[in-house]
């Protein structure tokens, strides 16, 4: 939409930054409102982040859990999509600043810019222990995991082979527990018979956390059952241990060196720089402290939602989960629609906790919905059903369900492709000497 067109259109302009759960739901609620909407995102797609770990473990392809924003919103005539990276907000002039120097004026602004990994003051660890937030993160971790097996297959150095067959997951929340369980299934099922010189089932998977329980958002019995399941499939669970060092050789935990060529980070989050853009009060993680209507104190036309904000309810901060972002996005959309229509809308935002679901392995999930608790097959089925329902687009739902069915029956994972082996700092080619080749021919 050109600047000339914008000047002729006198409808209030709503700028929404971020095409995740919060931003996309805010856009959709405004479909019939007398406003024009601009959705800004630095990527061109909406990502179903709860299934990203399955991309990282070769269970799903990237297009199974993502959809182009333009395709999702093609029928919403009052919305345009701009792919660009926001670098600041001028609150006095009411405009959003982009990296290319462009500015976009707004009447209402919604910041739904999500979060990134937090390395607790050690940003240098990221190159050795990537987190899992974007499609690029998912494909990079997938390539690190698969490349580790290839390197182990191509070396006769036992120490190097063991290091390549050791996988460390830092953080035992939902992301870490799901990732550890998926790696276990990959090694014990999908890759078990594919190599000639290594036994993938002997891979070591270590799950580490500084607190004394996994899945801390769940009740104690579910924590313990999930821990027992992970240990039953060969995962070493190290709780109450903080990581002291991460480097190319692995990690140091409690003064002990664990030699590992693949380390995956799921231990903490830090908000986007939205708080710095606005120059307002934030918490220690950088999340913007918002009012009860999701607006920024002192700026009633600016709203911050999802992982970018912090808000207390019943004395506790809202959790950083998709349902919070979805509900806040819908609430803010309704709030803006009422404001432009000069209708009263004084109801504060209230989060309805629909329950927590996580899967930590084949046929084993945990579910906590109100007073209902379940661990095992029923929890896994509930998790599967909910995630299929919330996937964007019928084709994605059908494809994911089909792939899960095939994987369940055959243990195969169809996305086992290494596209850019150079993404890992240790992904140098292993020199195979002629004598090694001859030895293998004789084996």
Active site residues: 178
**Three state DSSP letters for 308-328:** HEECEECCEECCCCHHHHHHH
Under a CB-based contact definition with an 8 Å cutoff, are residues 106 and 94 in contact?
Answer: yes
Under a CB-based contact definition with an 8 Å cutoff, are residues 119 and 272 in contact?
Answer: no
Compute CA distances 138 → 62, 287, 366, whole Å: 8, 24, 23
Q: How far apart are CA 140 and CA 136, in angstroms?
A: 6
Max Cα–Cα distance, the chain, nearest Å: 83
């Amino acid at each position: 939409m050109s600047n000339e067109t914008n000047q002729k259109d006198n409808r209030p302009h709503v700028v929404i930054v971020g095409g995740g759960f919060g931003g996309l739901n805010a856009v959709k609620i405004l479909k019939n409102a007398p406003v024009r909407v601009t959705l800004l995102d630095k990527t061109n797609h909406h990502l179903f982040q709860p299934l990203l770990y399955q991309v990282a473990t070769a269970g799903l392809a990237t297009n199974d859990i993502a959809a182009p924003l333009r395709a999702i919103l093609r029928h919403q005539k009052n919305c345009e999509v701009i792919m660009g990276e926001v670098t600041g907000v001028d609150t006095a002039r009411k405009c959003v600043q982009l990296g290319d120097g462009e500015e976009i004026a707004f009447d209402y602004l919604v910041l739904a810019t999500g979060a990134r990994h937090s390395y607790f003051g050690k940003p240098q660890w990221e190159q050795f222990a990537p987190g899992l937030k974007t499609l690029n993160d998912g494909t990079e971790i997938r390539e690190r995991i698969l490349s580790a097996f290839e390197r182990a297959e191509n070396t006769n150095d036992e120490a190097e082979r063991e290091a390549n067959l050791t996988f460390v997951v830092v953080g035992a929340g939902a992301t870490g527990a799901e990732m550890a369980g998926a790696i276990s299934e990959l090694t014990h099922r999908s890759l078990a018979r594919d190599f000639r010189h290594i036994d993938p089932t002997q891979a070591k998977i270590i799950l580490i956390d500084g607190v004394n329980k996994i899945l801390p958002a769940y009740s104690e019995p579910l924590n313990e059952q999930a821990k027992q399941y992970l240990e039953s499939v060969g995962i070493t669970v190290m709780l109450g241990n903080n990581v002291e060092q991460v480097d190319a050789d692995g990690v140091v935990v409690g003064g002990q060196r664990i030699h590992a060529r693949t380390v995956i980070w799921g231990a903490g989050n830090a908000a986007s720089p939205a708080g710095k853009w606005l120059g307002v009060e934030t918490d220690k993680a950088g999340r913007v402290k918002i009012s009860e209507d999701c607006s920024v104190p002192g700026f009633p036309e600016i709203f911050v939602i999802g992982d970018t904000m912090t808000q207390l309810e019943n004395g506790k901060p809202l959790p950083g989960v998709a349902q919070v972002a979805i509900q806040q996005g819908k609430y803010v959309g309704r709030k803006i629609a009422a404001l432009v229509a000069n209708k009263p809308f004084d109801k504060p935002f209230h989060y309805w906790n629909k329950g927590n679901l996580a899967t930590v392995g084949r046929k084993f999930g945990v579910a906590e919905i109100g007073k209902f608790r379940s661990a095992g097959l029923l929890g896994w089925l509930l998790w599967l059903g909910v995630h299929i329902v919330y996937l964007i687009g019928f084709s994605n739902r059908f494809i994911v369900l089909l792939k899960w069915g095939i994987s369940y029956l055959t243990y195969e994972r169809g996305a086992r492709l290494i596209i850019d082996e150079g993404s890992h700092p240790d992904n140098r080619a292993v020199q195979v000497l002629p004598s090694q080749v001859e030895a293998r021919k004789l084996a």
